[in-house]
Amino acid sequence: MRVISGKKKGLQLKAVPGQTTRPTTDKVKESIFNMIGPYFDGGRILDLYGGSGAISIEALSRGVEEAIIVDRDRKAIETIHTNLKLCRLEQQAQVFRTEAGRALKALQKQEKKFTLIFLDPPYQKQRLSEELAYIAEHQLLSRDGQAVVEHALTVSLSDSYGSLHKRREEKYGDTVIAIYSEEDEQ
């Protein structure tokens, strides 16, 4: 696992030890960033299921200014901190050990807005429809923002959740990437 592009290109990242985390492959990660970027001029990412922190680190490497990374697993949090330190990105990221739903409520109370929101929950424990509806209802996405959802092929998501509309969907084996944004691009 490595940083694919940007200022930190080529740096190797640590994986979360054990079997509790399913890392996004470099191929899928590269495809995601080709769909949503590939580079950014500032902005803020919220990674609700941080795992190793690789998605947020990739976004920071490609020009996002700030990352908020959430995970409930202690080993994942330790790995995120290790990877941020390896990449010298500690000052650009805040890491929280909590559940995704609780994090969304806290961020809504702080009136935070995000350029990117990344949701890649454990496939068996996903609550994506509820989380996307909450993001839409509380306008956590900035006007030009994008929500990127990685889920199993067996999960079916709606084309819209409130003001969020699916604008693209790609399949990679048993993985699906769906991109939602506030504006319904026609």
Instruction: Detail the DSSP E strand segments found in the chain.
Output: 44-47, 66-71, 93-97, 114-119, 141-152, 160-161, 164-172, 175-181
For the record, the structure tokens of 13 come out as 């990242």
CATH fold of the domain at 26-32+40-181:
Rossmann fold (3.40.50)
pTM of this prediction exceeds 0.85:
yes
The DSSP call for residue 14 is P
84-143, pLDDT tens digit by residue? Answer: 999 999 999 999 999 999 999 999 999 999 999 999 988 677 899 999 999 999 999 998
Please identify which residue in the block is written with the tokens 């640590």: 14
Beta strands across the sheet bearing 93-97 = 93-97, 66-71, 44-47, 114-119, 141-152, 175-181, 164-172, 160-161
Residue 175's CB: how many other CB atoms inside 10 A? 19
Closest CA relative to residue 167, chosen from 183, 143, 145, 150: 183
128-148, pLDDT tens digit by residue? Answer: 999 999 999 999 999 889 999
- Asked if 156 and 127 touch (Cβ cutoff 8 Å), the reply is no
Domain coordinates in residue numbering, the chain: 26-32+40-181
